[in-house]
A and B are shown apart, each in its own frame.
Chain A
Amino acid sequence: MNLNFSFFTHDVIANFIFKGLLFSIQLSLVAMTGGALLGTLLALLRLSSKRWLSIPAKLYVNTLRSIPLVMVILWFYLLIPMLIKRSIGAELSAFITFTIFEAAYYSEIMRAGILSVAPGQVNAGYALGLTYWQCMKYVVLPQAIRNMLPVFATQTIILFQDTSLVYAIGAYDLLKGFEIAGKNYNRPVETYLIAALVYFIICFFFSSLAKSLQKKIQIIR
Chain B
Amino acid sequence: MIEIKNVSKWYGDFQVLNDCTSSINKGEVVVVCGPSGSGKSTLIKTVNALETIQKGEIIVNGTSLTDPATNLSKLRSTVGMVFQNFELFPHLNVTENLILAQMKVLNRTQNEALSRGLKMLERVGLKDHKNKFPGQLSGGQQQRVAIARALSMDPIIMLFDEPTSALDPEMVGEVLDVIVKLAKEGMTMMCVTHEMGFAKNVSHRVIFMDEGKIVEDTKTDEFFGDLGARTPRAKDFLSKIIRH
Contacts and interface: CB of A to CB of B under 8 A. Distances in A.
Contacts of A123: 45, 50, 83, 87
A142 B150 CA distance: 21
Contact of A121 (B72, B79, B89, B135): B89
Interface in A121-150: 121, 123-131, 134, 138-139, 142-143, 146
B83 A131 contact: no
Interface SS, A side: helix
Contacts of B74: 129
B85 A120 contact: yes
Contacts of A138: 89, 100, 104
A220 B136 contact: yes
Contacts of A127: 48, 50, 76, 79-81, 83, 150
A84 interface: no
B104 A130 contact: yes
A118 B80 CA distance: 20
Nearest to A146: B91
Question: Chain B interface residue count: which class?
Answer: 20 to 34
Contact of A130 (B50, B79, B101): B101
Contact of B135 (A125, A126, A129, A221): A221
A129 B50 contact: no
Nearest to A147: B91
A67 interface: no
Interface in B116-141: 133-136
Contacts of B227: none
Contact of B76 (A129, A142, A146, A217): A129
Nearest to A140: B89
Given A129-B76, A129-B77, A130-B104, A124 B133 contact: no
B135 A219 contact: yes
B205 interface: no
Contacts of A221: 90, 135
A191 B75 CA distance: 66
Contacts of A121: 87, 89
Contacts of B40: none
A129 B71 CA distance: 10
A129 B105 contact: yes
A129 B73 CA distance: 4
B17 interface: no
A126 B74 CA distance: 10
B16 interface: no
Contacts of A128: 76-77, 100-101, 105, 149-150, 153
A120 B81 CA distance: 12
Contacts of A220: 90, 133-136
A221 B105 CA distance: 27
Contacts of B85: 118, 120
Contacts of A129: 73-78, 101, 105-106, 153
B76 A134 contact: no
A219 to B, nearest CB: 5
B114 to A, nearest CB: 16
Interface string A98-135: 00000000000000000000101101111111110010
Contacts of B149: 128
A219 B91 CA distance: 5
Interface string B45-80: 100101000000000000000000000111111111
A120 B45 CA distance: 12
Nearest to A221: B135
A129 B76 CA distance: 5
A89 B100 CA distance: 47
A139 B133 contact: no
Contact of A131 (B73, B78, B106, B133): B73
Give the 3 A-B residue pairs with the shortest CB-CB distance, closest first: A129-B77, A124-B87, A128-B101
7 contacts: A123-B83, A123-B87, A129-B78, A130-B105, A138-B104, A143-B90, A219-B133
Given A124-B89, A128-B100, A220-B136, 15 more contacts: A118-B87, A120-B87, A123-B83, A124-B81, A127-B48, A127-B83, A128-B101, A129-B101, A130-B105, A134-B105, A138-B100, A139-B89, A219-B133, A220-B133, A221-B90
Interface of A: 118, 120-121, 123-131, 134, 138-139, 142-143, 146, 217, 219-221
